[in-house]
Amino acid sequence: MDQSTHKPKIAKSDAEWRAQLTPEQYYVTRQHGTERAFTGPYWNEKRAGLYTCVCCGTALFRAETKFDSRTGWPSFFQPVAADAVAEHEDRSWFMRRTEVRCATCDAHLGHVFKDGPKPTGLRYCMNGTALDFHADEDAAGA
């Protein structure tokens, strides 16, 4: 996690986000929703590549940090850079969790838990709907 993803903050109106995103993407990223386990994209993706924010394209996670958490959501043990994501306290559903958002556009991505593998011990449990995936072989062929 040595590179920086520092980008200018993106702010759009609700109408602009609705026009850009599918209804499911809007629900997850702008309304802090959650896709059902084992139904969203990328939970079972195994190719090398880069996961970016579906709203603004910010680089978020590398496939090398993805692991099978058996939860039905894409899980990673660290973001590409410390400034790629922002953490916020989430007290919804009578729980206390740490919400993860894109640091560039404030899109809700998922939550982070302290039950992940080494080296970080963290599990960034993300909604696949909030992500885009760019396979390394796609980038090489471009």
Residues tagged active-site = 125
**DSSP code string of the chain:** -------------HHHHHHHS-HHHHHHHHS---PPTTTSTTTT--SSEEEEETTT--EEEEGGGEE--SSSS-EESS-SSTTTEEEEEE-GGG--EEEEEETTT--EEEEEES---TTT--EEEE-GGGEEEEEHHHHHH-
- Rounded to 5°, angle at Cα 31 from 38 and 65: 45
